[in-house]
Amino acid sequence: MLSISEKTFTKNVLESPIPVLVIFTAPWCGLCKIIHPLLLQFQVQCSDRIKLVEINAEQNFKLSNTYRLKSLPTLLLIENGIVKQRLEEFRSREDLRLALESIQIGYNNSYSGKIDNLKFTG
């Protein structure tokens, strides 16, 4: 998963030709570590349609403030510089799995079915 900073955010996220799922994390965030394998699985399944990037919320305070983070992890689906979906306040891997499926459903409904048949295990 690509780790980005405030310096590389515009190029890697706002100017990306494909939607970007941004994951705000922190080194002390236990849930962030627990859900990491599921995010990697999502990345493998969607790499040609959705880019996945990670941002350390503590080291990139300006971005954390700009996107008004309330909890970690927070996931933002950004397309053409616009937040299309915000996912936060996970309690488990199952919460994240359901949230990722909601991205699939939302993307299918809004963007002509470019993501098909995502399956998550674990």
| Rounded CA separation 112/45 (Å) | 18
Reading the chain (122 residues) residue by residue, the pLDDT tens digits are 899 999 999 999 999 999 999 999 999 999 899 889 989 988 887 777 889 999 999 999 999 999 999 999 999 999 999 999 898 887 777 878 887 877 766 665 554 434 333 444 44
DSSP 8-state code for residue 71:
S
What pTM was estimated for this model as a whole? Answer: 0.82
What region, left, alpha or beta, does residue 68 occupy, with left being phi > 0 and alpha being psi -120 to 50 degrees? left
What is the layout of strands, in order, in the sheet containing 20-25? Answer: 2-4, 51-56, 20-25, 74-79, 82-87
Please count the helices (runs of H) and the strands (runs of E) in the chain: 4, 5
- Could you list the active site residues? 29, 32
Contact 5, 60 (CB under 8 A): yes
12-to-19, 33, 61, 91 alpha-carbon distances in Å: 10, 23, 18, 28
Strand partners, 83: 78
Which helix (H) or strand (E) segment holds residue 25: the answer is strand 20-25
Q: Give the model's pLDDT for residue 112.
A: 42
